[in-house]
């Protein structure tokens, strides 16, 4: 059993935490809600998985059954790696998963990695990085582990090109790997329209608002080579605030496609996880408007989630006096079209 519903998690007051976040959060709610003891007793499977800065987590299961999680740059690493044998308690590893860069990218940002195991047994990582020729844009790169160790190191593919890079629309971030039931591989990502926005909340709350569509690109079995053109699955609307981002696609037990995503600016108390559903992978997707994870007594700005077909889920939320984004683990019921955190 992965999750003990009576498990309690405690944040012990104001631990002074390590490094600073990439931009200071402008949170408007008091910090009290996170300074009290956090307890998830009874109601859900949510646990504080890693009490450290580890935003935008994704994960993969190793052949030995243990789990590896990957997070946005922090704690002195470009791409962070954590390990767990039970999916509940995690250890931050002292490894650099991405020791070398590709020709198109530059420091410092390395955001929202995603890793999957390919049919040849190798682990493949997608990540977002700054485009060296255009430092206001991020695009999505690919790196492959040179062994069958999920912790890496991951070496960028030799093409020296990003996998997705729509510069005029704002670049691309937040890659998510998906393999359909027929074996077809896809990558999802967000077109980062905020970077061509006109200011305000996450640079995109002043009219005219830029589009921030979630795209689906079919790939060949190597996970690297695009097949055909990307298609748009959803875009932001007024109820989403400045953006939608952080896609994570799941095929529910009944065959429904569940597209999880975050809305609002990541520094906003309204940052959350929502779901849109479709009966075909390319859509049309309908948003149900409900947050499957949102601000509550225990969680502050939860989002950036990754959910796999078995319902295992990692996401981040502000913690330690809202100074960093910690990693949380949960289990989602994905048996049908109305998923919920168990
Ligand atoms: C906001 O968008 C403008 C372009 O409209 C760009 O010059 C600027 O760098 C963006 N700011 C951020 C923080 O992305």
Q: Is 245 a catalytic residue?
A: yes
Residue 54 lies in a domain: yes
From ligand 1's centre to the CA of 226, what distance in Å? Answer: 29
Rounded distance between C-alpha atoms, residue 209 and residue 211, angstroms: 7
CB distance 27 to 322 below 8 Å: yes
Residue 234 dihedral angles phi and psi, to the nearest 5°? -145, 170
Give the pLDDT confidence score for residue 32 in this predicted structure. 32
CA–CA dist 137, 131 (Å, integer): 6
Question: What's the pLDDT score for residue 202?
Answer: 97
CATH of the domain at 264: 2.115.10.20
Report which of 339, 334, 323 is spatially closest to residue 17, judged by C-alpha positions. Answer: 323
Q: Is residue 119 part of a domain?
A: yes
8 within a domain of the structure (yes/no): no
Distance CA 327, CA 340 (A): 19
Pocket test for ligand 1, best of 24, 130, 135, 136 (most atoms within 8 A of CB): 136
- The predicted structure's pLDDT at residue 44: 67
- List Cα–Cα distances, 127 to 8, 112, 254, in angstroms: 33, 6, 31
Residue 239 domain-assigned (yes or no): yes
Which residue, among 272, 270, 264, 266, has the nearest Cα to 243 in the 3D structure? 264
Q: Give the active site residue among 114, 174, 245, 272.
A: 245
Atom of ligand 1 nearest to the CA of 194: 14
What is the three-state SS of the chain?
Answer: CCCCCCCCCCCCCCCCCCCCCCCCCCCCCCCHHHHCCCCCCCCCCCEEEECCCCCCCEEEECCCCCEEEEECCECCECCEEEEECCCCCCEECCCCCCCCCCCCEEEEEEEEEEEEECCCCCEEEEEEEEECCEEEEEEEEEEEECCCCCCCCEEECCCCCCCECCHHHCEEEEEEEEECCCCCEEEEEEECHHHHCCECHHHECCCCCCCCCEEEEEECCCCCCECCCCEEEECCCHHHCCCEEEEEEEECCCCCEEEEEEECCCCCCCCCEEEEEECCCCCCCEEEEEEEECCCCCCCCCEEEEECCCCEEEEEEEECCCCEEEEEEEEEECCCCCCEEC
Residue 244 domain flag: yes
Neighbouring C-alpha atoms within 13 Å toward the C-beta of 158? 1
Nearest CA to ligand 1 atom 12: 195
Can you give the residue range of the structural domain that contains 323? 32-335
Four-point Cα dihedral 159, 141, 240, 169, nearest 10:
-30
Residues in the chain: 342
Q: Is residue 27 part of a domain?
A: no
Place of tokens 């329209």: 193
pLDDT of 230 reads 98
The residues near 237 (Cβ < 8 Å, ≥ 6 apart) are 287
Domain count, the chain: 1
Mean pLDDT, consecutive 10-residue segments, the chain of 342 residues?
A: 33 31 38 35 75 98 97 98 95 98 97 96 97 97 94 93 97 98 98 98 97 98 97 98 98 97 96 97 95 89 96 96 95 94 88
For residue 6, tell me if it sits in a domain: no
31 is known as an active-site residue:
no
pLDDT at 86: 94
Q: Which residues line ligand 1 (CB under 6 A)?
A: 136, 194-198, 203
Q: Give the predicted TM-score (pTM) of the model.
A: 0.88
Compute the Cα dihedral for 237, 283, 251, 179 and give only its sign: negative
Question: Per the domain annotation, does 2 fall within a domain?
Answer: no
């Amino acid at each position: 059993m992965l999750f003990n519903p009576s498990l309690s998690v405690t944040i012990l007051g104001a631990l002074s935490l390590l490094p600073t976040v990439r931009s200071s959060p402008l949170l408007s709610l008091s910090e009290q809600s996170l300074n009290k003891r956090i307890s998830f007793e009874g109601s859900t499977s949510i646990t504080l998985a890693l009490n450290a800065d580890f935003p935008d987590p994704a994960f993969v299961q190793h052949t030995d059954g243990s789990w590896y999680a990957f997070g946005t740059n922090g704690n002195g690493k470009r791409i962070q790696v954590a390990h767990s044998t039970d999916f509940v308690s995690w250890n931050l590893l002292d490894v650099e998963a991405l020791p070398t860069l590709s020709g198109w990218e530059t420091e410092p940002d390395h955001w929202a990695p995603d890793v999957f195991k390919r049919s040849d047994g190798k682990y493949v990582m997608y990540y977002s990085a700054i485009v060296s020729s255009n430092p206001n844009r991020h695009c999505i790169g690919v790196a492959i582990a040179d062994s069958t160790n999920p912790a890496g190191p991951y070496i960028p593919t030799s093409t020296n090109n990003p996998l997705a890079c729509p510069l005029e629309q704002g670049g691309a971030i937040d890659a998510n790997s998906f393999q359909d039931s027929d074996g077809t591989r896809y990558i999802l990502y967000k077109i980062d329209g905020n970077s061509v926005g006109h200011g305000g909340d996450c640079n995109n709350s002043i009219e005219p608002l830029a589009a921030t569509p979630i795209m689906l690109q079919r790939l060949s079995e190597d996970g690297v080579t695009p097949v055909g053109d990307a298609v748009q699955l959803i875009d932001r609307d007024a109820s989403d605030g400045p953006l939608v981002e952080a896609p994570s696609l799941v095929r529910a037990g009944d065959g429904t496609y569940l597209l999880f995503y975050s809305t609002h600016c990541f520094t906003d108390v309204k940052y959350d996880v929502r779901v849109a559903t479709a009966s075909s992978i390319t859509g049309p997707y309908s948003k149900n408007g409900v947050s499957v994870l949102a601000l509550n007594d225990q969680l502050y700005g939860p989002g950036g989630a990754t959910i796999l077909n078995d319902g295992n889920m990692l996401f981040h939320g502000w913690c330690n006096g809202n100074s960093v984004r910690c990693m949380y683990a949960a289990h989602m019921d994905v048996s049908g079209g109305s998923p919920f955190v168990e």
